[in-house]
């Protein structure tokens, strides 16, 4: 089973454009998957306009936190995770993070045309 690890920007952008994460992932992934997020994502969501909605969406889609011990930002943690778990898929909209992950040959999911998700290999 594949892990799809979502970053903060991805979650908020899906909410902003009303993208059904679960349905879109079913459309693009042939294998079974589980949804995850870095535990510090919750800290990044604090004081954002869609904070409560984003947290409730994470609960509704049964996304699980990945516990971390490093005291660094979510992007650095996602890069470390992708390096340690090359089979996992990182879902992000962050341009700089995408570039760093592509250099590491990580599998990515991004939002296209504000409507659907796309798997980038």
Domain ranges of the chain: 2-120
Place of tokens 């991004």: 110
DSSP 3-state assignment of 121? coil
Mean of all residue pLDDT scores within the chain: 95
Lowest mean pLDDT among 9-23, 39-53, 90-104: 39-53
Residue 85 has pLDDT above 80, yes or no: yes
Share above pLDDT 90 across residues of the chain, in percent, rounded to a whole number: 91
Closest C-alpha to 89, from 59, 117, 113: 117
Give me the numbers of helices (H) and strands (E) for the chain, helices first please.
Answer: 6, 6
Residue 71: the pLDDT is 86
Q: What is the 8-class DSSP label of residue 53? A: H
Residue 92: pLDDT over 90: yes
Q: What is the pLDDT of residue 34?
A: 97
| Residue 47 pLDDT | 85
Query: pLDDT by residue (tens digit) across 34-63?
Result: 999 999 999 999 988 889 999 999 999 999
CATH fold, domain 2-120, is: Rossmann fold (3.40.50)
């Amino acid at each position: 089973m594949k892990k799809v690890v979502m970053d903060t920007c991805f979650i908020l952008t899906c909410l902003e454009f009303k993208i059904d994460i679960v349905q879109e992932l079913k459309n693009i992934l042939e294998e079974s998957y589980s949804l995850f997020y870095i535990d510090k994502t919750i800290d990044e969501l604090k004081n954002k306009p869609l904070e409560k909605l984003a947290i409730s969406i994470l609960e509704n889609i049964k996304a699980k936190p990945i516990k971390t011990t490093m005291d660094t930002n979510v992007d650095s943690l996602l890069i470390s995770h992708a390096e340690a778990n090359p089979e996992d898929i990182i879902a992000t909209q962050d341009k700089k993070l995408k570039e760093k992950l592509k250099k590491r040959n990580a599998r990515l999911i991004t939002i296209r045309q504000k409507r659907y998700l796309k798997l980038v290999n």
